[in-house]
Structure formats: structure tokens, C-alpha cells
Chain A
Amino acid sequence: MFQQRTGLVKSLLRQWQLQSMVIPGIIWMFIFCYIPMLWLIIGFMDYSIAKPMLQSPFVGLKHFEEFIGDDRFWRSIRNTLGMSAIKLVFGFPIPIFFALLLNEIRSIRFKRTVQTISYLPHFIAWTIFGGIMLNWLGEGGVMNQLMMGLGIQEREILYNSDPKYFWWITYFSDVLKETGWSAIIYIAAIAGIDPALYEAAELDGANRWQRMWHITVQSIRPTIAILFILAVAGMLGSNFEQIFMLKNNMNMRMAESLDLYIYNMGLVSGRHSFSTAVLFARSIVALGLLFLANYMSKKLTGDSIF
């Protein structure tokens, strides 16, 4: 830069107030973000929390080899991908449908009311919402009453004790809780569409469905693309607060996602180095997924995040 070294010190001193605002933030980031990043290194060690870090022996890829040979690890990968795939395929379009249908409501007051009500569950804690689900899915619960009333099943089913229902329980409870909230972004994107487009289409004789498809959906395509990228990139993640609430010893076989596996191994069994190795591998793959999804979206739709 054009400034001399002493000049730099002088200007730094002149703006010490601004610097004193930012530097605590940088220090916070170093402590709470960068130190944990550095500590990912214990994935390559036999770390014990009671000793200083550098006294722990390096063991190379031992933990990596161990989890790759662990069936429970692969089971957790299967569960994570399974739940994410169900949410992606059957869940991702639902807020879009909801936004499209809500957009067709003509009474502005009714539309507002429905929208406001629809995102209320997003602000209810998972403890509460999960508690309701557990009650509904249990013995004599709403779910059993409904299914038996409709004649779909003859006897009571303990839905949450049978692993085979677990993925669908996470899917349905997620849809019930988050649809309205996820739709906000689409509703806003739809609100930004130029009304002249609809008028022109109507003059050209386009019917409701044609207008919906050719104008509304096409206009919000970039929004859909970005959210889809984020959803694909997040496939290795799971809604921990949800799963942690709904899991139990009986459904663990299908409920243990990768996050829960890391939690169980690291904090319940106390194998810090082992689960850090899993964390490390997961971050690498997640980053790769983000770039891949971004690339795919750029190729297919021309819209991307970076």
C-alpha cells in the first residue's frame, strides 16, 4: 500500500475505536470456530481429555480404518441418506405447491391469515412438537384411532416402536412443522413477479395451469434451484433436534443418523478421537457435495450459488 509502516500504525491508532469493535469478534471466531477446527486433528490421535493434547500419540488413520469397517457406521450413512432422500423427493416440492396454491387465493385477508397460521409450528420447540408426535403415534393415540376408524388397520400399532416407520415419521412430522415456513421464500418470490406478465398471458389465452407453469414456476426457478442446491448439499446432515426427540431404543436401528452416531460414539461412549475422525470425513464429503450440487445446478438450470 501507499502508506509507510509508521503511517499504518498512525492510522490504526487513529481508528482504534473501530478496531476495538471488530477485534473482539475476530477473537471470538478464533476461540469458538478456529480452535475446534484445529482440534479436528485429534481424529488422527488417541486423544484423552484428561491430558494435554500434544501428549496424546499420533495413530495416523487408525480411527478412519476402524469406522470404515464398522457396520453401524454404514447403517448410520444409510439412515441419513434414506431420511434425506425422502425429505428431498417428497418433501422439497410441498412448500412450492403450497406457495402456488396460496397465490391463487383471491381474498388478501384470507391469504394473510392462512400464511400467518401456517408458519406458527416452526416456532414451537421440537420438544413440544416431538412430544405431540410421540403421543399421537403411541397406544390409543390419534394415529391409531384414525387408521382404525378408516378401516386401514385392524389392531393398534405402536408406530414409534417399529423401526420400519421411523423414516416416514421424520418426514411427516417435518412436513407438518416446516411447510409454511419453507414456503415464505417462494411466496415472496412469487409476489415479486410483474403482474403485466399474467395479463399478457391471459390475453394470449393461457389458462390457469398454463399461467402457473409458464409464468409463476418459471419466474421462481432461480429460488427453487438455490434451495435445491442447499438441500442436496445438506444431505449428510439430519435434523438432530427432531431425531433426538423421536428416537428410542426400539427404533434406533433406523433412527441412528450420522449425527446421532457421532453423538453416541463421542459423547455417550466417550470415544472422542474416533468420532472426530468421522466428523472430519463428513466435513470433507459435505464440502464436496456442496460443490457437486452447485456444478449440477449450473449445468442444468444456469442458476448457482457461486
Chain B
Amino acid sequence: MELRGRMRRIGVFEVCNTLVMLAVCFLTLYPIWFVFINSLNAPEKAILGTVNWFPEAFSWASYSVVFNDKGLMNGFYVTTMRTLIGTTAHVLFTAIVAYGMSKTNLIGRKVYMKIALITMLFSGGLIPTFILMTKLGLYDNFLVFIIPAMYTFFNMVIFMSFFRTIPDSLEESAKVDGASDYGVLFRIVMPNSMAVIATISLFSAVYHWNDYYQGVIYIYSQENLPLQTMLYKIIAENSMSFMQQQAMAQFGARLPGNSIKFASMMVATLPILLVYPFIQRYLVKGVMIGAIKG
């Protein structure tokens, strides 16, 4: 009864706190809304500046420029391929290493763990890594997105500790039936680890989708540029020229850069926004696993 009474009382604090939370939601959602409405603002209005709440005149023109831009669409393709291949490679490679490491009877396990642990404490850093990539022929090569991102110590440990929680009896019975270690991993362990696989895949995919820095450092030619790196160039370095030309060819008039800029930002964010409501549970779960291990 005492508790009930407390629940029903709504004081000044509750009101203020709710307002603070609503303000947080507003501050969080507004930047995305801002991009959205400005991407839909008609070009002849967008030339006057950005709008804050709603488009002054609604138009898809900027999107049609973006979708007809060969450069941007190629960037979209590179990013998509990078995300698909990079995520698959990361999950498979890291999970296989982790499965081997999760076995206590693995000969040399202690040494392997030490080797892995040292990579957490020290690293070569930007310049030696850059030189290495150049020597490996990965400079301006699509594989620079995939191979160096195939493994992280952190995710290996997450996989490893998850694999340990799978009952040995499951694996033993498969072994009795004559399955190899790979057979056990792919037919017993992996199907029983879908939760952790989903979590790590999502983090890896978000990384690959959002990263622009690798592209800035390692990619030189236009055809290998990921979408985010192109956006970086468009937004931060203001290299609008190729899009302007595209727009001129299409509309015969100069389209203001801003609304095209916002439309391309929206195109780059939309995949994340669309899947976000469905994946956010897994993302939070991932942080929690990481926090417990770390």
C-alpha cells in the first residue's frame, strides 16, 4: 500500500524529469529530421538557405540527382559490398579462431592468448600500418576494407566466452557420431550461437557502413571510394563540382548544392535508420557482453 501511494504521487520532480527526457529525445531526433526536411526542400527554395521545421516546397529533385549520379551510386555499391563481404569475413574468421581458442586442451593455448593479449596493449599506429598496407599491395585496393578488419581481439573474446557456455554434451554427442572439429563448429556450435553472431555481425556491419576514414587514407581512385568517404569530400572539402555538372546535364540549370548534399546524406543514413528499430536490442546486448568481459 505504501508503495502504491508513492507511485501515484506526481510531483514537480516528475514533471521536470519528464520534460528533460523529452528534450533529450528532441535533441536526438532533430538532427536527423533536419537532414530529412532539407533533402526534400525544393531546389529553388533551398537556394535561400536551410529550413528548420518543414520543407517550404516539397520536391524529390535532389534525390533524383543523387540516384542518377554515377559516382555516388558507385560509392553506394562499394559500401554495400564492403559491408556484406567485410561482415561475413569478420564473423567467420573471428569465430573460427575463437572456437579453437575456447578449447582448453588446445596445445599452446597460453602462448596464443599472450600473443593475442599483447596486441591490445601495444600497436604500431597510423604510419607503420600505412606502410604495411602499401607493401602488401592493399593501397587503393578494395581488400583494404576487408582483410585488416577480419579480426578484433575484443570480438574474439566475446565469441570465445559464449562458445564456452554451450554444453559439452552437445559437442560430445556429435563427436561420437564421427563429426570433425569443423563439423561440430558449423553444425552444432554456430547454430546455437545465433544471438552472439547477430550482435557481432551488426556491430561489424555498422562499422563498415559508417567508416569513412579508411577510404580517406587508403583509397585513391574514384571507383573504390565508399559512400561515406565521398560524403566526407562533398561535405568537408566542398568538392561539389561533379554533382553540379550532373545536375546541370539533367536539369539544364544550377541546382543548389545544399539540398543535394542533404539528399546524399539521407541516402547514406537511411539503411541504418530503417534497420535500427529492429536491431537496437542486439546492439545493447553486445555492449553488455563487452562490458562484462572488459
Contacts and interface: CB of A to CB of B under 8 A. Distances in A.
Given A35-B132, A101-B21, A123-B206, A185 B291 contact: yes
B119 A33 contact: yes
B276 A279 contact: no
Interface residues of A, number: 83
A130 B105 contact: no
A117 B228 contact: no
Given A15-B107, A19-B106, A131-B235, A117 B128 contact: no
Given A25-B93, A104-B13, A118-B24, A36 B269 contact: no
Interface residues of B, number: 85
Nearest to A271: B127
B261 A15 contact: no
B126 A267 contact: yes
Contact of A114 (B24, B35, B125, B148): B24
B124 A35 contact: yes
Nearest to B135: A49
Interface string B109-146: 00010011011011111111111101010000000000
A26 B115 CA distance: 8
A266 B131 CA distance: 10
Interface in A122-162: 123-132, 134-136, 140-142, 145
B101 to A, nearest CB: 6
Interface in A95-113: 98, 101-102, 104-106, 110, 113
B125 A40 contact: yes
A33 B120 CA distance: 9
B134 to A, nearest CB: 7
13 contacts: A21-B97, A28-B93, A29-B151, A32-B151, A33-B118, A33-B124, A35-B124, A35-B132, A102-B21, A116-B280, A119-B283, A120-B276, A127-B265
Interface of A: 8, 11-12, 15, 17-19, 21-22, 24-26, 28-29, 31-40, 42, 49, 98, 101-102, 104-106, 110, 113-114, 116-121, 123-132, 134-136, 140-142, 145, 176, 179-181, 184-185, 188, 208, 240-241, 244-245, 248, 259, 262-263, 266-267, 272, 275-276, 279, 282-283, 287
Q: Which 6 A-B pairs have the closest CB atoms?
A: A36-B124, A25-B97, A21-B100, A39-B128, A125-B210, A22-B100
